[in-house]
Structure 1
């Protein structure tokens, strides 16, 4: 009978690898012994200890629906003593159709869903506790002794506390982040957090963005955001970039096709024109901060090409916390709004570019704002003469921006 030794009680990676091999060899759930390695015996090998049949696997490669694996990762965060065997049966049922030994086909899934609901509730409670705690970072505590929700949400804590060192007192041990590495505490001393199951909730859920004081922590959190529908279709979140204390901040509408693929703002054709205009205006891009109102690329497919779609009210509203955090942390002396979408989102009213362009505006936070066109507007001009004329007007707006921050 095969014995599987896991490195620690949250070792999802070893469990997953062993499960894949055992099911390929058609090993029944009741034939497997699951065991967690004794921390005092670090020399013990992990994985499948007992030899498997020498013949080739009896099954071909298989896949498991993502929803089932998500359910299993939630189950793994509980303290249920049979969670490894239960999770194995869930996979085996998907691959082979073998039912629960009791004859109740839904027994395992019913129990797993119940455990997962408990984990989701514990995760929400833990995150709310961390996000609303006003104690010093070295006085955090968590009193729930069931399961391993706190350990699986260590990244949430680190980002919510802006990468500052922290220590969390828990029943039976202490988990801490020293600024570079995580020590998950007992009974997971020296365990690799990369082997833990992922949290039951998306990283951004429950995060108090207004309490984050480090821009990199906001950016890292934003990369997990799937609030709006277009986030599920875009390649990645495209957060802002530039000097964290820049006196000059530029805000456009949304990333384009190349920005979405590369993961940086203003690197496509409009971005290259923007860089050229900055240089001509005597402004170094390295000394400014550039971002977008919306952090994902909204598009539709036409003959294999991804065609830009204008961001709507829902997308702008969903991304508003990220832009607000960028403004709050960078605190630019001048914010330049590139195009009507960015201007309307920041000014919270309809904006006609021709009417408000090139005139300094006092923003809601007391800083200065300036409206101009988006560089993509220059690319859409019908003639070379029009492109040259509008480009020069754009450069003049950038020169005005330079004078305003120097004033």
Structure 2
């Protein structure tokens, strides 16, 4: 049995060196008694460290974890680390095994130490102890950390308060920063620190920023545990602030203005412009679409392309946006994609003149390239703005089924983005419950250069239109 004493100061380096020697000598975990400085060795312990010659290779992720876990207050932390390190010798993949119980325990200890360090950075309160005429100001603080976090956290305070001398006194270790250098001493009893005149100013500020309307006591105590309150000057005000919170919140509500400030009129007007609930007269919808300036697409398009068809149609067909031909003629689906649709629809018994045909986006989005205008897919913002008009058309027509052709139409109607091929042929529902059958856009068929791929995609499009025809026929019967 071997004994390893790990000192309170420099514990990380001491454990790392001891573990390296034991691992190189092939000493198993059950043959080592780990203890802190001054701890009594095992009755049959060998106080002489073994000398190993084997090479020691340790995953970097374990080193980083161990550098934190050694500061945990668990007296078995050194043994737990070495036990897991022993297992890592031939299985470095264990560092990524989330189901490993030993690793889970060490990760939990690591998290607790990090949390303790965070609390130390937040709740240490310095008070000035130096003479007024000293060349460097000097401060001291008393803190009671949950774990041994003074040494690994001292660097933060050295960087943060490098222009003054300070000491952080705890029951275990005292960190001293003097003339730009950090040193550590044994822990001390709580010192008698002088009052700080600036604390009253801080307490006044704390009381004034305390918002009673947003008080959540459990959440506050989770971030500021009660064990730290006795060393925080502002904590003396917390019970009173909690007790007064309901009355102060009611007073704040009663004192709130009953009328919005003048600037809110402009804000409310902007919000109204984004509400997708057009409520104009039925015969005024085409003119309203023609005059639309809700998004920048109207600036370069020739005109808005409105839907057309009977207003009592059982089927509404929704495409992506107008193309070049539609933009010039002002009618939906009159270009090559419309011709493909008419051909396939005729084969399955869908009559276009009995359906209401429209687009999710009413203006043509394109990129000029010489004399040609190259189609550009609308973005989510443009789709959202044009949803105003699509909602109005749906409210007027009230179709039994909507055929969404292409990803843009599917997103506009269902609010969902996703791979179109995995959704086509299926009936989804709009937020208001409207049935939506999703299929390919006929322009997709035109873009396919490979004859076999085009034939396969056309067959899928044909199947989807047949499904639409069958659903309408079933509903009629």
TM-score where L is the length of structure 2:
0.41
Determine which structure has more spread, i.e. the larger CA radius of gyration. 2
The structure with more helix, counted as a fraction of residues: 2
TM-score where L is the length of structure 1:
0.48
